[in-house]
Structure 1
Amino acid sequence: MRILTVGAGAIGGYFGGRLAEKGEDVTFLVREKRKQQLEQEGLMAKSIHGDIKIAEPKTIKAGEQADDFDVILLSTKAYHLQGAIEDIRTYVSEETLIVPLLNGIAHMDVLIAAFGEEKVLGGLCFIETTLDENGKVIQTSPIHDFVFGERSGEKTERILRLQKAFFGTKANFRLSDHIEQEMWHKYLFISTLSGVTSLFRSPIGPIREEEFGLAAVKEVLKEASAIMRSIGAPLADGIEEAQVKKLNEIGYEMKSSLQRDMEKQQPTEADHFFGYLLDQAKTQGLETPVLAAIYANLKVFEKNSL
């Protein structure tokens, strides 16, 4: 299959690199600076699962001519979504599938409005990764999961073909029968992790060691899940307890990507994660003081730092 990975950053560079390493036909859609970097240095990733070195990765810039792609992997930040949509329009054919790996859920309606119900699959990833100052992907977590599926849960011919292309890669590509539920579960998890780590400016370990830090974790889960259930999100029974357990088990030094963006003085996905939830809470008449404090913290950071 012809695969287009939007960007060659921490997420796209890692999963696209794993697919290229396997021998799949992968092209990276990148900006001029990143294109020059990849042409000079190749695509490199340092990973606890084995390093990646693609000496001559295929790259294109937005607007350059290329044949249509079978699948587009979209891992941009939410605040770059509209630009990414315009960048990929010319490469989307009648048969192209789009797999979004963004955190949250609000992007799904945007993508469906742009490309139609049939083209947009469900997708998510679990990984801790970043780019260093030289453009190398640094991947540090035991978990490196890429989860995808038809939003209906069906095992269609096209999704099985995609599964075959992903099979045998040195990362955990997994086909899900319940991708929408898994996306909501990821949203709940990442909202909690991002919320508390950005609020306390700390990895998760020291937060959960403090009595009131752990209480904050549980309160964010409670508020966020209440909002999600109120709008009909397909959360599993007992998901809150399961995620408290998971947050207690993940690595002591685990940070969220949102927290890393703050440390780099970059924009955050405050509106995509928390603004969306707070809008839904207001509509449903729910009180969510901790989520409101997290959102305010991020907006003040943006106002003072960017």
Structure 2
Amino acid sequence: MKIVIFGSGGVGGYFGARLAAAGNDVTFVARGAHFEAMRSLGLRVVNPLGDVSLPEVEVVNRVAQIKYADFVFLTVKLWDTQQAIPELVPLAERGAAVISFQNGVQKEEVLLRVLPKPSVMGGVSYISAAIQEPGVIRHFGPIQNLVFGEFDGAGSQRALELLSACESARIGARISNEIEREIWEKFVFLVGLSATTATMRQPIGAIRTNEQTRGFLLDVMRETVNVGRARGVTLAKDYADQQLEFCDTLPAEMTASMYQDLLRGNRLELPWLSASVAELGEKMGIPVPRNRAVTDILALYVAGHKSD
């Protein structure tokens, strides 16, 4: 199976390395120092489940260098999506299935404006991983799961083939016949975690144990559920309450990646998280004051503020 990893950071680098180590034909698309390191030294994953070391990997810095693929994992940062999609058109037209494992709930809409509809599958990733240094990915914690499926809910041979490849690579994976709901379920949690840890500059443990901040977290997630349900997504009415209970099971020191990006002065994915909820809610006349507040509080930091 030929798999292209378009965006070889924490998510793409980790899952791509696992699939390559299991014998799949994996081509990584990377850039800058990460590309140079992978080209000369290969790719290494530092992993509590066992390190993965690939002394040689197939890596390119332009998708146009790839002629064919069975699957493309789209794992670039969300702000790169609009620019990245046109590069995928030739692969999609030659039969590649394109799966976005990015955050957010509007990414597939962007894909479908450019790519043939049959080429797009839905996907969700659950992992905490990042580039430790060029050519090295660090995986934090044991969670490393992929969920994917066809948007019409039908079973497909390509989904079964990808599931088999993931299982052989010891990746936690499953097929969903309600992939849109799965995408929104992760979105509800992610919006809540990113909104609160970034605005409050505290990990989830502190936030969930304070009555006021716990209530704010719940309200952020409830607004997100309300927006999703208004768009026809089959989220349970009490899904935000369920996710709050899930937050009680998380390591107390856990934060969202957006909080880490804020600390490092990196660009934020805010426009695709709370700001997206605020925009969708206001268009539909649904009250979203908490997500609007988060959007306003973090507005100064969206573009990043690195001193270098």
TM class by shorter chain equals: over 0.9
What is the SS of the residue equivalent to 2:248?
helix
Cα deviation per residue 1:181-223 (whole Å; 9 max; x = unaligned)? 1111011110111111111112211111222121111111122
Alignment match, 2:229: 229
What is the Cα deviation at residue 19 of structure 1?
0.4
Residues paired across the two proteins, number? 306
CA contact (8 A) 2:42 2:135 kept: no
Distance (Å, rounded) in 1 between the aligned partners of 2:104 and 2:304: 25
CA contact (8 A) 1:68 1:93 kept: no
Cα deviation per residue 1:147-197 (whole Å; 9 max; x = unaligned)? 111112211222222222222212212212221111110111101111111
Alignment match, 1:127: 127
Answering whether residue 280 of structure 2 is matched by residue 280 of structure 1, we say yes
CA contact (8 A) 1:184 1:234 kept: no
Distance 1:160 1:302, change over 3 A: closer
Alignment match, 2:252: 252
What is the Cα deviation at residue 32 of structure 1?
4.3
- Please say which of residues 245-254 and 127-136 is displaced more in the overlay: 127-136
The one-letter code of the counterpart of 1:270 is L
The one-letter code of the counterpart of 2:291 is L
The one-letter code of the counterpart of 1:245 is E
In the superposition, the TM-score normalised over structure 2's length comes to: 0.94
Alignment match, 1:20: 20
What is the Cα deviation at residue 246 of structure 1?
0.8
The one-letter code of the counterpart of 1:264 is R
What is the Cα deviation at residue 65 of structure 1?
2.9
Alignment match, 1:305: 305
Task: Give runs of aligned pairs for residues 1-306 of structure 1, distance below 5 A.
Answer: 1-62=1-62, 64-302=64-302, 305=305
Distance (Å, rounded) in 2 between the aligned partners of 1:222 and 1:142: 28
The one-letter code of the counterpart of 1:92 is A
Distance (Å, rounded) in 2 between the aligned partners of 1:34 and 1:134: 4
What is the Cα deviation at residue 7 of structure 1?
2.0
What is the SS of the residue equivalent to 1:105?
coil
Identity within the alignment, %: 28
Distance (Å, rounded) in 1 between the aligned partners of 2:43 and 2:15: 12
What is the SS of the residue equivalent to 1:167?
helix
- Please say which of residues 87-96 and 72-81 is displaced more in the overlay: 87-96
What is the SS of the residue equivalent to 1:121?
strand
CA contact (8 A) 1:69 1:93 kept: no
Distance 1:26 1:228, change over 3 A: same
- Please say which of residues 9-18 and 142-151 is displaced more in the overlay: 142-151
The one-letter code of the counterpart of 1:236 is A
The one-letter code of the counterpart of 1:11 is V
Distance (Å, rounded) in 2 between the aligned partners of 1:152 and 1:76: 25
What is the Cα deviation at residue 237 of structure 1?
4.1
- Please say which of residues 65-74 and 81-90 is displaced more in the overlay: 81-90
What is the SS of the residue equivalent to 2:89?
helix
Cα deviation per residue 1:45-74 (whole Å; 9 max; x = unaligned)? 111111111110111121553331111001
What is the SS of the residue equivalent to 1:87?
helix
What is the Cα deviation at residue 304 of structure 1?
7.6
What is the SS of the residue equivalent to 1:305?
coil
Distance (Å, rounded) in 1 between the aligned partners of 2:269 and 2:11: 16
Distance (Å, rounded) in 2 between the aligned partners of 1:58 and 1:272: 31
Distance (Å, rounded) in 2 between the aligned partners of 1:193 and 1:279: 19
Cα deviation per residue 1:11-53 (whole Å; 9 max; x = unaligned)? 1000001101111110001124322111233211111111111
Contiguous gaps of at least 5 residues in structure 1:
none
Contiguous gaps of at least 5 residues in structure 2:
none
What is the Cα deviation at residue 101 of structure 1?
0.5
CA contact (8 A) 1:6 1:76 kept: yes
In the superposition, the TM-score normalised over structure 1's length comes to: 0.94
The one-letter code of the counterpart of 2:238 is G
Distance 1:182 1:129, change over 3 A: same
Distance (Å, rounded) in 2 between the aligned partners of 1:32 and 1:191: 30
